[in-house]
Amino acid sequence: MEIEVDGKIIQLSEAGWLEDLSEWTEEIAKKIASDVEQCELTEESWDIINLSREMFYENNQVAEPRKFMKAMKAKFGKERSSNKYIFSLFPKGGLIKSANKIAGLPRPKGCS
């Protein structure tokens, strides 16, 4: 699968994961969100995307959901740290399948 962003062809896996993580940009994130995940990014969506990228680069791995929710709660409060809240922003796949994909992170093990 591929997408075109700013005249450049970007390679994605069959499921829409970025093949070359170093190519990630906010424009690519917007394109994956609209074309692959069928969601619109809001300021709150970007909070999740940015935190997931931050945690990935701090720990060199995609954050597991419980750890991520704990970080969300510490940074944004209880009302913005539930799985239900994240699915409201990324309805097709929540944190693991949608937000991480849009954030240009590697596909977690066991994730289709």
Q: pLDDT for 53-103, tens place per residue?
A: 999 999 999 988 889 999 999 999 999 988 899 999 999 988 888 999 999
CATH 1.10.10 occupies which residues in the chain? 43-102
Active site residue 111: yes
Which DSSP state fits 96? I
Q: Which residues contact 26 (CB under 8 A, 6 or more apart)?
A: none
Closest CA to 86 of 102, 103, 98: 98
% of the chain residues with pLDDT over 70: 97
Q: CA-to-CA distance for 51 and 58, rounded, in angstroms? A: 10
**Best CATH choice for the domain 43-102 from the list 1.25.10, 1.10.287, 1.10.10, 3.30.70:** 1.10.10
In the set 45, 98, 111, 112, the catalytic residue is 111
Q: pLDDT digit string (tens) for 81-91?
A: 888 999 999 99
